[in-house]
Amino acid sequence: MAQPTGDIALIGLAVMGQNLILNMNDNGYTVVAFNRTVEKVEQFLQNEAKGTKVVGAKSLEDMVSKLKKPRRVMLLVKAGQAVDDFILKLVRG
């Protein structure tokens, strides 16, 4: 397994999430990007994040495996049940 390189992960690739990832990248951080709709991760990497150090993740397990310890995760998902669901999945992992 490859050595983890991510400084922080961001879950949620709507416009605000994408812009925050690109801003962190511009400031020297290696960001792991994840979205519940995984196709959105690929689209982001091939378009807006092309040529950056942004790393994509295909699952929560994949995302966690790419993060350096201590692991830092930012959630930018719709408030309510989606946040609760992601927290439960991260806590079990």
The residues that bridge with 9 in the sheet, in sequence order, are 32, 73
* Residue 93 pLDDT greater than 80, yes or no: no
Query: What would the pLDDT profile of 9-41 be if each residue is shown by its tens digit?
Result: 999 999 999 999 999 999 999 999 999 999 999
How far apart are the C-alpha atoms of 16 and 59, rounded to whole Å? Answer: 21
* Arithmetic mean of pLDDT over the chain: 94
Query: What would the pLDDT profile of 69-78 be if each residue is shown by its tens digit?
Result: 999 999 998 8
How much is the average pLDDT of 31-60? Answer: 97
**Domains of the chain (ranges, CATH numbers):** 8-92 (3.40.50.720)
Tokens coding 58 = 């295909």
